[in-house]
Amino acid sequence: MIDQPLDIPVSNAHCTTLKWRAGIVFIEGIIQRVQGDTGQKALENLISMLDASGPAALADVQGDFVALVRSEGAIHAFKSFTSQFQLFYRPKDRLVSNRLYPLWDSDSEWNPAYFARHCFIVPGYQFMSAESPIAGVNRVLPGELVTFTRSGIEHQTYVQRQYRYKLDTTQTREQEAPGILALLRDAIATRLQARPDADICVEISGGLDSSFVACLLGEQRKNVNACPEGTRAIRGVMFSQPDIPSHAISERYAREVADRYGIDLIIVAPDALPWDSVHVQHYSDEPSDFFWYGDLFSRAVAELADPGSYVFTGFGADQLFLRSPAFLPYLLGRGEFAAWYKTLPHVSKLLARGQINLTWQCLLSQMPASWHRTLCNSRLFARSSLWDVSDVNMDRMLTNEVPWLKSRQSLAALTEQRRQQEAQLVGVDGIICDDWGYFSAPRTVCQSHFDHKGLVDASPFCDLALMDHMYNHVSAHLVHDFESPYKSLLREAQKGIVPETLRHRKSDTFVFNSFQLRYIEQSRERFEALIESANADWIDIAGAHQALEQVTFGMATSSTRSVVALLGYLQWQETFRQKAPRLKSQPEATCHMAQI
């Protein structure tokens, strides 16, 4: 049995090992609350629970973590429901690790199905799918406990959800906002208590989401129970293009937040981003289609944050609080005809689209996806927009095949598999969420820049307790409110905490397309070479080159979206090949392996 127990102080790291009656448990991530307690007491409670109930007790732990538990004759691997961290294993020899490189051998092969999902940008493939980039290597799924013994492998799912929107028009924003505020405060406080000596960095865009997190951090920083005396001020980082009006306004709001809460705010201009370093790549377990964002912005944050810091963000707020016109066909599908009829004119006004047109789109959206796809691909009214449902069901319009991508399975087939996985994880058509894999996104984007400095991404809006509250107790009409300003429920929760001028801002849209284009243009020669070296059995190389050319002209199609994802994969693949053998011979301190 291979095991590498670590002894890292809990307050300074996101990895630790604990001893329980039957062996050792290794944890990567943040344990926020166990049996009502936080910090060191939470870990003590966890040991008691393991002693009493075994590894299944991990299902009752609140946090963002993965765990490897060793007991006599067995290895148990568990992943919390919303964890950004991963556990990988190879069934043939029962080797399991929290990093992918220990499972890479000289005879390993890449997984074409994973490659297809990545290039098609199938939502959730790094979260709900058991596949990994390496053929024959799987990942532990959310809420799953995988037990490895000499006689075989056993899978048990302990955490699942059956979310379905609550529709209660008697609820008001004023009634529900305090509960949301309390949960967000708790999400931040429990993270601070898990690592009380960690410095804090927060990304502030000047928008509603990140500013709320920054304000709550500033509020709790004053609590001596959360942060000991003598700790350094919160460091804020904002990326701004002051020549763009929306950025200039956002910068003013960010400075207002920083002044109110004593945050040391650093404004990073476009030319101060690490453009000269984007060709220097570090190890990460998996590729990201937002690789360019990580190489520019996450790298810049890593340079500014102190080692071992938390890096707080407002990521995940859109999934919970941003209204969507997809609510219209959702209401129709649930038979909520009165609510649909009441909502229709407000959506029509917001989108500047006629009510008859939106009604037609809603009706088309009730049609099975395969039927609708047949109509879209037919010659019947081929040159018209008759079958277009993009105003209320963009998901249907993002299933165009990518001609240069050679996949054994179509995008439609992969999309159907994704829906089946979603149904098992969170229920069938219970809520509107375009990507249940968003929990894993921060780490795939940031890992290569954060890990070497011991930085830990912290996204309070991704807490399971907050999700459960929003989807089980808060009426959907408060989120999908088209009569009031967007995110009106979140704004209500911000009263007295976020500056009023910011809380009432009309728009906080940030556009990063120019950064992506500049990044690709600057690295064009390198990307062209990567495409040339790609597996010709997986892509049509000439077609991929053409799609890259279209990207540089600003074209936005399924093909151009996919070729950007392809670049992220090829860049990651090249780096993985280079880094994995060395790391395997000299594993990082945070890498943990177990085998039976």
- Of 379, 399, 426, at which residue does a domain stop? 426
Cα atoms in the 13 Å half-sphere on the side-chain side of 310: 28
Same domain, residue pair 280 and 393: no
Q: In whole angstroms, what is the distance from residue 276 CA to residue 269 CA?
A: 15
Domain at 35, CATH number = 3.60.20.10
Same domain? For 126 and 32 the reply is yes
Q: Which two tokens stand for residue 239?
A: 């990326």
Distance CA 174, CA 226 (A): 28
Query: What is the pLDDT at residue 535?
Result: 96
Q: Please choose, from the candidates 143, 198, 123, the residue with its C-alpha nearest in 3D space to the C-alpha of residue 422.
A: 123
Residues 407 and 446 in one domain: no
Rounded Cα distance between 423 and 317, Å, is 22
Whether residue 348 is contained in a domain is answered as yes
Look at residue 398 and tell me if it is in a domain: yes
Asked if residue 289 and residue 330 are part of one domain, the reply reads no
pLDDT for the residue 288: 96
Say whether both 186 and 313 belong to one domain.
yes
Examine the domain organization and report whether 398 and 505 are in the same domain. no
Contact 64, 31 (CB under 8 A): no
pLDDT at 512: 67
Residues 197 and 126 placed together within one structural domain of the fold: no
CA 453/CA 450 separation, integer angstroms: 6
Q: What is the CATH number of the domain that holds 445?
A: 3.40.50.620
Residue 375 half-sphere exposure toward CB, CA atoms < 13 A: 17
Structural domain includes residue 166:
no
DSSP assignment of 73-108: TEEEEEE-TT-S---EEETTTTEEESSSGGG--TT-
N-terminal to C-terminal alpha carbon distance within the chain: 5
* Residue 134: DSSP 8-state: B
Q: What is the DSSP letter of 140?
A: P
Domain boundary among 510, 545, 566: 510
Say if residue 299 is in the same domain as residue 331.
no
Model pLDDT, residue 6? 35
Domain that holds residue 287: 176-320+434-463+492-510
Domain-embedded: residue 10: no
Whether residues 201 and 281 fall in one domain: yes
**Same structural domain for residues 315 and 450?**
yes
Q: How many domains does the chain have?
A: 3
Please give the order of strands across the beta sheet that includes 138-139: 2-3, 593-595, 95-97, 88-90, 138-139
- On whether the CB atoms of residues 202 and 213 are closer than 8 A, the answer is yes
- Kindly state whether residue 367 falls inside one of the protein's structural domains: yes
- 214 located within any domain: yes
Cα Rg of the chain (Å, integer): 24
> pLDDT at position 66, please?
97
Quick one: pLDDT at residue 3? 40
| Percent of the chain that is helix, strand, coil (3-state, to 5) | 45, 15, 40
> Which residues have C-beta within 8 Å of that of residue 43, sequence separation ≥ 6?
10, 16, 18, 31, 34
540 inside domain: no
Shared domain for 109 and 35, answered yes or no, is yes
Whether residue 544 is contained in a domain is answered as no
> Is residue 60 domain-shared with residue 151, that is, in the same domain?
yes
Place of tokens 């941003």: 322
Low-confidence ranges of the chain (pLDDT < 70): 1-13, 223-232, 382-383, 397-400, 508-513
